[in-house]
Structures are given as structure tokens and as C-alpha cells.
Amino acid sequence: MKRKGNRLSRKEWLIRLWLKQAIGNREEATGNKRGNFLFSAYCLLPIAYCLLAVVTVRGQEKDWEQQWNQTLAGARKEGAVVVVGSPDPVMRNEIIPKFKARFGVPVEFLAGRSSEIVARIRTERAAGIYSVDVFLSGPDTTATVLYPEKMLDPLRPLLVLPEVLEASKWKKGKPWFVDPEEKFILRPFISVSSLLFINTDFVKPEEIRAAKDLLNPKWKGKISTEDPTTTGAGANLAARFHYQLGANFVKKLYIEQRPVSTRERRQFTDWLARGTQPICLNCREDDVRPLEKEGFKLVEIFELTDLAPGINGSPWLMSVANRAPHPNAARLFVNWMASREGIELYSRGYGSASLRTDVDESFLNPGNIPRAGVRYFDDTDWSWVVTGRQENRDKVWKLLKSR
């Protein structure tokens, strides 16, 4: 971005200089041979500059095209790219067939819960086996296992596609690497996360304006949550409540209000639709959307007056395994995944707002798109994931065990 910024200002400076010289000197130099020569020279200067720019760009194009073609040829020779992540319908239904059709390289996707993935990779590596090329993993696994245990290679140098590198294609002015060294872990998504969902047949939106409204005795037993006593979205939200609203609020909400908890996301989505528990703390946008289409009056609440709205990097952060068995295929895959096509597939599949500027957002719930000037709580923020969340989660667990 800096390099690009400097080039632009140099161009501006040249144009200004040329205008000053040309116009100023023209007046002075009318009828003067030297002045005419200078004038012609000034006229030719931008043309020469343009030519130079074209040649340079062509050169760069040739350069990336060459790299890209080499990568593609290498990937085809390697025969596959091994990607690891959570069970993922977008990967299964969209990415695998599209990537194969486009590049002729099959995607071998290993799905599992993060704990299973971690167990597998650690054991493999202890035995000297390196089977994975690319990780599409959640922030916890990425920040607390993959990065600190040095399982990754820098991803930034692998990005070659102009549409991936071009500053104007990213809302942050560049691809966002979230790790402390800013080169290993790419975050392509930034969605406003819902705080809760309500079924308006049972709960009026004006009844839940603030987080403290959830403590109304009227809602006792009417709130569902993913089990906050174990790792997962339920505990993460409770940790956030603990951090932003304090221990007393958590105690009241999770103990006194007797929320109904489950580990099965389908269960609380169904409860929400049926109105058994018309307030859902951890329902997912991609689970609720089909029910909204069926006519259920379900509303996603993004903001509460006493709680800063949140953003997250769902569905995944992308990183490349070190000693990847298919380095070219991995490079091909990460470039394509970071491109408009790859990101848009996930954006549509999960209803997540991306960080790319060229991804169609018309299909998104406007509430999911972060607004300028609003201060958000970032649930995928590195230090929050590594320390803050864990500390608050531990405090929540201690509180809940004391009930």
C-alpha cells in the first residue's frame, strides 16, 4: 500500500511540475526557439511517462503471469491440494467442484472439529508426516495452536494474483494479515455478528432494546443458548458479556434466567422458529435464513443500547501449512480463495460480509455489513482470542460451576 501510495503522489507531483513549467514557460517563451523546444519536450514528457508505465505494467503482468503459470503447472503436477477445516457445505458443494473445474486440480478436504484436526496434525508432525497444505480454521485453533506451534509458512509472499494484491480491492487498503508478524494468517471476512435472534410472534423487537432487557423475569426459561459450560460459541458469547457487561450480568442471565442450553445448533434454531425459546443467543445466520424464507418471523438483532456491537471473521481464517506436500497447489488455492470468486462463494454461503470491495453484497442482510464510524467489538481480534477471551471464559465457567 505504501509503495502504491508513493507512486501516486510522484505522478501528481510530475503533472503539477509539468503544468507549471509548460504553461508558465509558454507565456515567457512565445517566439523563443528554446521556449518552443521546451514546450515540445514538456508535451512529450507525459507520453513518455505513459509509455514507461505501460512497459512497466506489462513487465509486471508478464512477471505475475509467469509465476501464475508456473504455479498452475506445478499444481497440476502435484495432483491435489489438501485442505483442512470444519465440516463445510460450501466447501463440499461449491469450492471442490469449482476449483477442480477451473484448474484441473482436485481439492482433498479433511473435515473435523478443531480438536480433531489439531490432534491429527500434531500426531502426524510428531511422526514426521506433513500432509496438509492449507488451513481454513477458526480463530481459536489458528491463534492458539497453528501459529504458536509454528505449523505455518508465511502466506503473504504466496499471493500473486493482481486482484488479490491490488489495494483498491480491499476495504482495509490491503489484504489483512491478523497475526503479530502480519504475514501468516489472512482474514478475508468482517461481518457484524448478531447478538441474538428473536421470534417476533412471541417477542416484540421493542421489548429487547438493551442487554439488560434480557434479564426481565418475563423471559425466564425463554432464552436458548449454546451450552456456555464448554468450549464453543455459547462460552465465547458469555465471555464477551462478562468482559463488556460484568460478572453480575452473566450470573443473572445464565443462572437466574434459566436459559435452556444445548450443544446441537439445529435444536436451538428449531426452538426459535417454534417459539419454545423465542430468544436465541447463539443461532447462526446461515441456519436461520432458510426459516425466514419459509415465513417465520425471525429477527436478527445486531445492536443493543448498552453493548457495543460486534464483528467477527467467520467463517474462517486462512493459512498455509509449512512443509506443505503440494506447495504449488497450495499457492494456487490460496490465491483463488482470496480472489473475488472464492470469497464471494463463502460470502453467499454463510451470509458473511467480506473485506473485498468487489464482492457483491446485495444478498447480505444490511445489518451484517459494518458501518463507517461505528466502534465495534472485534471477536476475532488477536489479543482477545489469545488472552482476553480465555480469561473471561474461565471466569464464566467458575461462575457457572458455583450455581
Question: What's the rounded Cα separation, in Å, for the pair 287 and 224?
Answer: 15
C-alpha cell at 246: 460484568
Buried/exposed 225-239: b ≥16 CB within 10 Å, e otherwise: bbbbbeebbbbbbbb
- CA dist 396 → 64, 216, 251 (Å): 50, 21, 8
Work out how close the CB of 292 gets to other proteins at its nearest, in angstroms, rounded to a whole number.
Answer: 12
x/- mask, other proteins, residues 175-214, rule CB under 8 A, reads ----------------------------------------
Query: What minimum distance in Å lies between the beta carbon of 177 and other proteins?
Result: 22
- Contact region with other proteins (CB under 8 A), list: 68-76, 114-122, 167-175, 246-254: 114-122
Q: Is 10 in the site for other proteins (CB under 8 A)?
A: no
DSSP calls for 196-213? EEEETTTS-GGG-SSGGG
Binding of other proteins by 92 (CB under 8 A): yes
Beta bridge partners of 59: none
Identify the residue among 75, 155, 185, 291 touching other proteins (CB under 8 A): 291
- Look-up of cell digits 514528457: 45
Judged by beta carbon, residue 92 or residue 204, the one nearer other proteins is 92
Give the 3-state secondary structure of residue 324.
coil
For the CB of residue 104, give the shortest distance to other proteins in the complex, in Å: 15
- The interface mask with other proteins, positions 121-140, x = CB under 8 A, is -xxx-xx-x-x------x-x
- Which of 4, 102, 172, 274 contacts other proteins by CB under 8 A? 274
Q: What are phi and psi of 260, to 5 degrees?
A: -95, 125
**Site for other proteins (CB under 8 A): which residue of 20, 150, 172, 204?**
150
Among 61, 116, 360, 391, binds other proteins (CB under 8 A): 116
If one asks whether residue 141 binds other proteins (CB under 8 A), the answer comes out as yes
- Grid cell 467480506 in the structure block, residue: 354
d(CA 137, CA 394): 23
- Closest contact distance (angstroms) between CB of 154 and other proteins is 19
Q: Alpha helix locations (H) across 29-144?
A: 33-78, 89-90, 96-103, 114-126, 139-141
CB of 116 to other proteins, least distance (A): 5
Q: To 10 degrees, the CA torsion angle through 220, 223, 227, 229?
A: -40
Q: Judge contact between 46 and 19, C-beta under 8 A.
A: no
Q: Which of 78, 227, 300, 379 binds other proteins (CB under 8 A)?
A: 227
Interface ranges with other proteins (CB under 8 A):
80, 82, 86-89, 92-93, 96-97, 107-116, 118-120, 122-124, 126-127, 129, 131, 138, 140-141, 144-145, 149-150, 227, 229-232, 260-267, 269-270, 273-274, 276, 284, 286-287, 290-291, 294-295, 401
